[in-house]
Amino acid sequence: MTAIRLPTALPPPGTVLGAAPHRTEDSAAYRDGGGYGTATGPRELLAHLTASGLRGRGGAAFPAAVKLRSVRDAGGSPVVVANGEEGEPGSAKDRWLLRARPHLVLDGLARAAAVTGAVRGYVYLSDPVAGASVRAALAEHPPPLPVEVVETGHAYVAGEETAVVRRIDGGPALPTAKPPRPYERGVGGAPTLVSNVETLARIALTAARPRLRDAVARTTLVTLSGAGAPPVLTEVPYGTPLRALARRYGTPDAAGALMGGLFGGLVGAGALDLPLEPDALAAAGTALGCGAVRFLGPRECPVAAAADAAAHLAAESARQCGVCVTGTAAVAGALGALAAGTAGPDTAQSLLRWARGLPGRGACGLLDAAAGLAGSLLRAFPGPVRAHLTAPCPGCAQTAPPDGRRLAVAVPEPAAAPHADGAPVPAGPTDIPLPLLKGTP
């Protein structure tokens, strides 16, 4: 079960987790906390977002103000989309947010619409529990523009922005070639803002408390897991060392980490002194991505972890780009053979070649993630790779065959909002069924 840990150094009014993260927030509680206010207008809000440098929380860390301006300046009748389809298996933040604080997301969506001039909006997700929560919130507090909930099947690529547009337009949730980008031509051909739900939540927080804009922009939700410790969803300031997070949340002797869900690749123990901050991590060759970090235990084999992640990516390929189908399968096969002790002497060289040559050749980031896994394993753990080429690894031999579901974490399920008489509805966090990989029984 994924636990929720409240931040100790941040005031609840300035956090996305809020003061009661284990309970779904209703509209009355949200308004009492300053939500849906009118003091901050669209122009002032955009200025605050520009000054704070708020970045998107979907994975790319693109400046939110730039994205809003691009949609606004494209003209026409823009569309805004709250993207809650969480494809990374180690992340639970977006689904929790839609379940527990749907009004915070919807407030952010309405404010993004006001900034861009959008005439309609969508909430895009794959979690039925989150869908029910959002629909209830829409009925409780109708937004100032028409908003529709669009559900899709859970998949790694389903949250990619062109896949989002394609699905809302009635097609499959599969990426398309770029350009055009959605901000140029998106849903129904209109300029479209596709924004991660945490990004929208932080836009709403900035509007409610502009004096806290810098703190809002420089804190982030993270999902921490691995090394036998229970998964944790928490909120931390940028600049927090990875090692401090490992120590605080149950992995004091971590040997490394799988970063950004799967997109940031593997890092060794030395990289745990890096600060949790997009630019610093990017400069070190990794990424914060969606904020999911899976720590490796001191006796956990990084080759097995890489093989697990690559197997998941290969299974999740959209199978519409030939280079992705063959490339992810090749990387997964080589890493699987390396973990099993059956790799040939040229395996490391092949992995290096793919790490250098495959990025940028697919329609989305899945192939890049597979290539990045291969390259990061070679960089961060050259000793274990050489050892696997020499003899079978005892640790890998005791591990079940790679199965990407082991990378997944359960979503904290909040209790219902209190009854009108103030008595809480008794309910505790429970696991929910996790989706199977494609091709698995």
Confirm whether 360 is domain-assigned: yes
Per-residue b or e along 389-419, where b marks 16 or more CB atoms closer than 10 Å to that residue's CB? eeeebeebeebeebebeebbbbbbbbbebbe
Please check whether residues 332 and 285 belong to one and the same domain. no
Please check whether residues 149 and 207 belong to one and the same domain. yes
- Cα–Cα distance for residue pair 338/372, rounded to 1 Å: 17
Confirm whether 260 is domain-assigned: yes
| Domain final position from 216, 251, 278 | 216
- Cα–Cα distance for residue pair 78/199, rounded to 1 Å: 18
Domain housing 319: 302-407
Tell me which DSSP letter residue 416 carries.
P
For the chain, the distance separating the N- and C-terminal CA atoms, rounded to the nearest angstrom, is 23
The pLDDT assigned to 14 comes to 84
Work out how many domains the chain is built from and give that number.
3
Strand partners, 124: 83, 150
Q: Which amino acid is at 52?
A: S
The pLDDT assigned to 401 comes to 60
CA 303 to chain centre: 24
Q: Cα dihedral angle (386, 390, 396, 401), rounded to 10 degrees?
A: 100
Sequential pLDDT tens for the chain (441 residues) = 799 998 777 777 889 999 899 999 999 999 999 999 999 999 999 999 999 999 999 988 999 999 999 999 999 999 999 999 998 999 999 999 999 999 999 999 999 999 999 999 999 999 999 999 999 999 999 999 999 999 999 999 999 999 999 999 999 999 998 899 999 999 999 999 999 999 999 999 999 999 999 999 999 999 999 988 899 999 999 999 999 999 999 899 999 999 998 989 999 999 999 999 999 999 999 999 999 999 999 999 999 999 999 999 999 888 888 898 999 999 999 999 999 989 999 999 999 999 999 998 888 889 999 999 999 999 999 999 999 998 888 877 666 566 666 788 999 989 987 654 444 433 333 332 322 223 222
Confirm whether 253 is domain-assigned: yes
Please check whether residues 43 and 170 belong to one and the same domain. yes
- The CATH number covering residue 101 comes to 3.40.50.11540
CA 132 to chain centre: 21
The pLDDT assigned to 380 comes to 97
Confirm whether 228 is domain-assigned: yes
Confirm whether 414 is domain-assigned: no
Strand partners, 415: 23
Please check whether residues 246 and 390 belong to one and the same domain. no
Confirm whether 100 is domain-assigned: yes
- Cα–Cα distance for residue pair 370/190, rounded to 1 Å: 33
Strand partners, 24: none
- Cα–Cα distance for residue pair 25/15, rounded to 1 Å: 14
| Domain final position from 216, 243, 278 | 216
- Cα–Cα distance for residue pair 226/336, rounded to 1 Å: 20
pTM (predicted TM-score): 0.92
The pLDDT assigned to 423 comes to 46
Please check whether residues 264 and 350 belong to one and the same domain. no
Confirm whether 13 is domain-assigned: yes
Please check whether residues 258 and 379 belong to one and the same domain. no
| Domain final position from 261, 280, 296 | 296
Confirm whether 430 is domain-assigned: no
Please check whether residues 211 and 224 belong to one and the same domain. no
